[in-house]
Amino acid sequence: MRLPSEPDVPPQINIVPMIDVIFAILTFFILSSLYLTSSQGLPVNLPKAATAQAQSSTRITITIDPQGQIALNRQAIPLDALEVGVRNLIPSGQESIVVLNADENVRHGQVVQVMDRLRRVPGARLAIATQRP
């Protein structure tokens, strides 16, 4: 039974808080997807090359930072252990692309030493990372 003093107000659904929640969730997914595309190597200044081509599947990344420190998939590794470390990451009988991210200020001789070690690993296809000018 309704009292005569109550106004006749139809029920309403307020969707403004729901829209706020949807935008918050959408923002979360957009920001989290940006971090999924992060590179596997350490941040270095890559040299520029106009003939650079994108490689389809990158599994192993070697990084040489400006101080000459070497990293295998973001883990520091000495030059002497590099060959064994890469060999352990490549499945037997298969080929894998090994991307070399060398800072443009690294000595040429050190890059050649790393490339020489990588060429000894069977199944390692060497690619040198660059950026377009």
Q: 65 in the Ramachandran plot: left (φ > 0), alpha (ψ -120 to 50) or beta? A: beta
Number of domains in the chain: 1
The tally of CA atoms less than 13 A away on the side-chain side of residue 2 is 6
Helix (H) or strand (E) holding 25: helix 16-36
SS3 state at 63: strand
47 compared with 18, residue with greater pLDDT:
18
Instruction: Tell me 48's DSSP state.
Output: B
Domain limits for position 90: 60-128
- pLDDT-derived band at 22 (thresholds 50, 70, 90) equals very high
Q: Provide the CATH number for the domain around residue 64.
A: 3.30.420.270
43: in domain: no
Instruction: Tell me 101's DSSP state.
Output: E
1 compared with 21, residue with greater pLDDT:
21
Query: Which pTM does this prediction carry?
Result: 0.57
29: in domain: no
44: in domain: no
115: in domain: yes
119: in domain: yes
pLDDT, position 39: 53
Identity (one letter) of the amino acid at 13? I
Q: How far apart are CA 122 and CA 61, in angstroms?
A: 16
